Structure 1
Amino acid sequence: MMPDFPQLLVPRDTLGPLPVLHLFGEPFVSVGARRVDIPRSCRRLLVFVALRPSRVERPYAAGSLWPINDEARADGNLRSALWRLNRMDVQLLSVDKYGLTMRDEVAVDLRAVSAWATRVIDGTATTADLRAAPPGMDSLELLPGWYDDWALMERERIRQRLLHALDSQSRHLMRMGLYADAVDVAMAAVGAEPLRESAQRLLIEAHLAAGNWVEGRRSLAVYAGLLDRELGVRPAPELTALLRCPPSSGPAGSRPGPFPVKSVVNPRG
């Protein structure tokens, strides 16, 4: 079985498999090919600490996870959850009387994906980074079914980060001449957020860069129809202008003319 996208990005250790905490989908831990389930009674604590970039103070963790206006009871709940975590055969947290943090040897798939997105966005991505593309945003939904405020905020943060990364990735792939890959990545971004203009622009540009004007026209027609149905507006003039400029090569008689915007949008009123 091919490893999933986050698993491809998790650092490897040549001395042996390291524990990996998986947060996309139902949380679990893996050590090599072995899956280790997390007890439900301590799952929220482990995830809460994993989502923090640095050490978490014990009172903050207890108050956030058990906001019951009873510090002693919340601290007791924290100690109980830590006891259950310590009974697992994989050690995941470093704990002292003041705070908690993930152990250095534990990899977190969310952190690996976030680091990949940062490299792609800031222009430091390797060729391997740019060729590694998620199959779709559905496979990268963080903690689905979790409705804690801190989980919802992190889910939306990583979603927006990934959408920006897909935009940047598609643009980089076009510059490398990898137009088919650029189209695939842009389509993943469009599938995640069909009304997002930057993704639709990149999809059209990728088609045009590959010389596929018909596909570029079709993509704009689909987007124009969607905008009309959902918002009652037309595509931005800058977007339609992409298809008003014929390609500079090829027989003049074969060059397509301006894109007929009115043929794909039914003006209201």
Structure 2
Amino acid sequence: MSADFVDALVAGQPMGADFVIRLLGDVRVSHGASWYEVPEGSKRLLAFVALHRGRMGRGHAAATLWPDAADSRAAGNLRSALWRLNQAIVELIEVDRHHLAFRPGVLVDIDLVTSWAGRMVTGRPMPDDLLVLPTHGLLFDLLPGWYDDWVLTERERVRLRVLHGMEAMTRHLVKAGRCAEAVEVALAAAGAEPLRESAQQSLLEAHLAEGNWVEGHRSLDTYRRLLARELGVEPHPRLAELLGSYPRARTSPITDRDRASSINILS
């Protein structure tokens, strides 16, 4: 589950890690084994500060969060949201007359996840990065149901970063000989974005690394039919070339039984 995955990333942080702002699925706060519900009237403020990071002007935050209110009214709304947040949870946001920012030590789940993905993509994963698999769809659910511009942009950034990280993790797992787990991660990436060709290629490579040519053929056949139905196009030739280059492809042609078993809910 994504909570397990994020918890593993939190556990790998240097000593002194404090509260963790959770934006995947819903706005919540955790501190060790304790969880805190964020007041509804403070969720937008907490999410805004978490997504924008660093120190920001109080006037900018108030005007963005309450764009239809007069400046004085927006400033009052900001003070109320801060007060409710501080009543529910120990002070997370430090405030002076003109600025606000998280206090030192506060972590944000999407920062941990995107940093993990960055390490995967650059080929520099830490030892613990490969211990827990990011296979839960909630990793793509940044503030679901929120449609503010400042949320939509960040949601797309996180989605793409996680997909890149999962595809890179698949390759790291294959290289480590953990092919079954590589298939799991690749399936999660392809399930999140079924039309994404790089995810399908990662899945195909994982199947072949595991020695399952027929599974690779099934996944490519499923992808081919999905592309034809949704976009009217064929997969890039490199996928068929990858499958055809596998030694077993020259000695074990696909049978009618294999073709029948490859039909699934996408057909």
TM range (shorter): 0.7 to 0.9
| Kept after mapping to 1: 8 A contact 2:174/2:206 | yes
- Describe the shift of the 1:44–1:69 C-alpha distance in structure 2 as closer, same or farther (beyond 3 A): closer
d(CA) in 2 for partners of 1:209 and 1:25?
34
Match of 2:125 in 1: 125
d(CA) in 2 for partners of 1:233 and 1:15?
51
| Kept after mapping to 2: 8 A contact 1:244/1:257 | no
1:51 CA displacement: 0.8
- Describe the shift of the 1:2–1:76 C-alpha distance in structure 2 as closer, same or farther (beyond 3 A): closer
- Describe the shift of the 1:166–1:256 C-alpha distance in structure 2 as closer, same or farther (beyond 3 A): same
Q: List structure 1 segments (4+ residues) > 6 angstroms apart after TM superposition.
A: 12-17
Match of 1:33 in 2: 33
- Describe the shift of the 1:47–1:3 C-alpha distance in structure 2 as closer, same or farther (beyond 3 A): closer
Partner SS state of residue 104, structure 2: coil
| Kept after mapping to 2: 8 A contact 1:136/1:192 | no
Amino acid of the structure 2 residue aligned with 1:34:
S
Match of 1:267 in 2: none
Matched, 1:49 2:45: no
d(CA) in 2 for partners of 1:115 and 1:109?
10
Q: For structure 2, which runs of at least 5 residues remain unmatched after alignment?
A: 263-267
d(CA) in 1 for partners of 2:227 and 2:41?
46
Amino acid of the structure 2 residue aligned with 1:101:
A
| Kept after mapping to 1: 8 A contact 2:117/2:161 | yes
d(CA) in 1 for partners of 2:70 and 2:255?
66
Match of 1:159 in 2: 159
Tell me which moved more, 211-220 or 10-19: 10-19
Match of 1:195 in 2: 195
1:184-230: CA deviation from partner (whole Å, max 9, x where unpaired)? 11111100001111011111111111211111111111111111111
Matched, 1:213 2:213: yes
1:164-197: CA deviation from partner (whole Å, max 9, x where unpaired)? 1111111121122221111111111100001111
Q: Map 1:114-263; keep pairs closer than 5 Å.
A: 114-247=114-247, 255-257=251-253
Amino acid of the structure 1 residue aligned with 2:238:
E
- Describe the shift of the 1:229–1:89 C-alpha distance in structure 2 as closer, same or farther (beyond 3 A): closer
1:103-126: CA deviation from partner (whole Å, max 9, x where unpaired)? 112222121112111111111112
1:117-157: CA deviation from partner (whole Å, max 9, x where unpaired)? 11111111123212322122235411111121111221111
Match of 1:67 in 2: 67
Amino acid of the structure 1 residue aligned with 2:150:
W
CA RMSD of aligned residues (A): 2.7
Amino acid of the structure 2 residue aligned with 1:144:
P
Partner SS state of residue 114, structure 2: helix
Partner SS state of residue 10, structure 1: helix
In terms of Rg, which structure is larger?
1
1:231 CA displacement: 1.3
Amino acid of the structure 2 residue aligned with 1:39:
P
- Relative to the length of structure 1, the TM-score reads 0.87
Q: For structure 1, which runs of at least 5 residues remain unmatched after alignment?
A: 265-269
- Relative to the length of structure 2, the TM-score reads 0.87
Partner SS state of residue 235, structure 1: coil
Partner SS state of residue 151, structure 1: helix
1:257 CA displacement: 4.6
1:23 CA displacement: 0.9
| Kept after mapping to 1: 8 A contact 2:2/2:136 | no
- What is the aligned length? 259
- Structure number with higher helix proportion: 2
Tell me which moved more, 163-172 or 125-134: 125-134
Partner SS state of residue 52, structure 2: coil
Amino acid of the structure 1 residue aligned with 2:251:
R
Match of 1:19 in 2: 19
State the identity %: 49
d(CA) in 1 for partners of 2:254 and 2:88?
65
